[in-house]
Amino acid sequence: MKTKTFSLFYICLFLCFFVKSTAQVQNDEVYEYPNLNSQDYRYNIRIPDIDGYKTLKGDFHIHTVFSDGKVWPDQRVKEAWNEGLDVIAITDHIEYRPNQKILISDHNKSFEIAKAQGDAIGMLVIKGSEITRQKPLGHINALFIQDANPLERQDPLEAIDEALKQGAFILWNHPGWPDDKSTFYPVHKELIAKKKIHGIEVYNGWESYPNVIDWCQEHNLAPFANTDLHYTSANLYRGERVRPMTLVFAKEYSEEGVKEALFSGRTVALYNNILSGDEALLKSLIKASLSIRVINQQKGVIEITNNSDIAYGIKYGNYMYPMSLYPNQVLRATIPAGSDVEFSNCLYGKDRHVVLKLW
């Protein structure tokens, strides 16, 4: 018994010495300040779960040095984690690889590097590639693929078919780029009719495409807001300019959960403090974000608390301009029971805003 106690004493002594020896240095010659290192901090973006689904924040269009991006794949994962996202897709170009003489590899390498980092920090990384063509087809992301190399085809429609064989979700990227015209071409009509396009970007980088939210409703396409990142994200989105993201309403936080949600169309595009998507999803998100306290029922005086990090704009009564429901703040307002309230930044179609009764 004494021997066992003696051994435990020295084990504890060794552990104390080890912890001390690996802690920050602070002596007459060197002072270390690990508290200044912010890479292990993450913004906690509060967007509520709805209707039994987990609300995941995603970016499904991201480039690295393995195509025409400027950032190494594992850093893309760290950026997204620091900025509060839950899931990203690495979607390097198949056809455009300006660094291929330096980075000799196949089309899967950028994902492999990013996936290892995602596993290390507990973040979902989806495998994807961008099939890059001029209009009329334009650029297409293939998400949830198994092997990117067979997508390198001369005929882009064959590349799409190959991705579909691998179980891919097909996303139509930036339909208004590069000619500033969002045109619904016959090739898109044909692909959508054959269920070969499943989603479309309502927002990309710094561009929104107002007509596209109507296309989503008319053709049962999932709306997306993505960054299309090429440079570092820190210099693009800072302060109140929240990084564009696609809100995914998933049954579970897993790749299969995200995939099922995308194919089911349970997404909302969030960009520049605007929400675009299905009307029912938007209403559920608003209701989950707000709580109402009635101050004077007869006069219609209420308090509206915004429990989310989304800044909503509301119009009611005779007000010509929206009132702001700032994140994590309370607005006292006179809104009689049963009154219609328009949410000016929640769109389910071009110039079509969600209208709700708050109480």
With 90 as the cut, is the pLDDT of residue 169 above it? yes
Looking at the fold, whether 13 and 123 belong to one and the same domain comes out as: no
Q: Look up residue 70 and give its DSSP letter.
A: S
At residue 26, the pLDDT reads 84
At residue 288, the pLDDT reads 98
47 assigned to some structural domain: no
The model scores a pTM over 0.85: yes
CA–CA gap between residue 351 and residue 210 (Å, rounded): 8
With 60 as the cut, is the pLDDT of residue 204 above it? yes
283 assigned to some structural domain: no
Higher pLDDT, 14 or 235: 235
Looking at the fold, whether 266 and 336 belong to one and the same domain comes out as: no
72 assigned to some structural domain: yes
At residue 241, the pLDDT reads 59
With 70 as the cut, is the pLDDT of residue 4 above it? no
At residue 245, the pLDDT reads 97
Bridge partners (DSSP) listed for residue 237: none
Looking at the fold, whether 212 and 335 belong to one and the same domain comes out as: no
Q: What is the mean pLDDT of residues 67-75?
A: 96
Looking at the fold, whether 167 and 220 belong to one and the same domain comes out as: yes
The 10 Å Cβ neighbour count of residue 319 is 11
Q: CA gyration radius for the chain?
A: 24
Looking at the fold, whether 253 and 304 belong to one and the same domain comes out as: no
Cα–Cα distance list, 163 to 197, 222, 233, 244, 359 (Å): 11, 18, 28, 26, 48
Final residue of a domain: which of 244, 277, 310? 277
Looking at the fold, whether 81 and 130 belong to one and the same domain comes out as: yes
Looking at the fold, whether 111 and 207 belong to one and the same domain comes out as: yes
Q: Is 260 left (phi over 0), alpha (psi -120 to 50) or beta?
A: alpha
Looking at the fold, whether 70 and 207 belong to one and the same domain comes out as: yes
46 assigned to some structural domain: no
Closest of 201, 238, 12, 11 to residue 91, by C-alpha: 201
With 60 as the cut, is the pLDDT of residue 17 above it? no
Q: What is the mean pLDDT of residues 69-88?
A: 96
At residue 240, the pLDDT reads 55
In single-letter form, the type of residue at position 210 comes to P
Q: Kindly report the CATH number assigned to the domain that includes residue 223.
A: 3.20.20.140
Q: What is the mean pLDDT of residues 326-346?
A: 97
pLDDT band at 23; cut points 50, 70, 90: low
With 70 as the cut, is the pLDDT of residue 147 above it? yes
Each residue's pLDDT tens digit, 260-282: 999 999 999 999 999 999 999 99
Tokens of 189: 């009509």
With 50 as the cut, is the pLDDT of residue 3 above it? no
At residue 37, the pLDDT reads 85
Q: What is the mean pLDDT of residues 49-64?
A: 98
**Tally of domains within the chain:** 3
- Tell the residue number behind the tokens 């993201």, with chain if given: 245
Q: What is the mean pLDDT of residues 220-226?
A: 98
Mean pLDDT check: name the lowest of 57-71, 109-123, 233-247: 233-247
With 80 as the cut, is the pLDDT of residue 11 above it? no
Looking at the fold, whether 93 and 24 belong to one and the same domain comes out as: no
At residue 85, the pLDDT reads 97
Q: What is the mean pLDDT of residues 322-330?
A: 96
Domain, as residue range, for 310: 290-357
Looking at the fold, whether 68 and 140 belong to one and the same domain comes out as: yes
132 assigned to some structural domain: yes
Contact present, 202 and 208 (Cβ < 8 Å): yes
Quick one: what percent of the chain has pLDDT higher than 70? Answer: 92
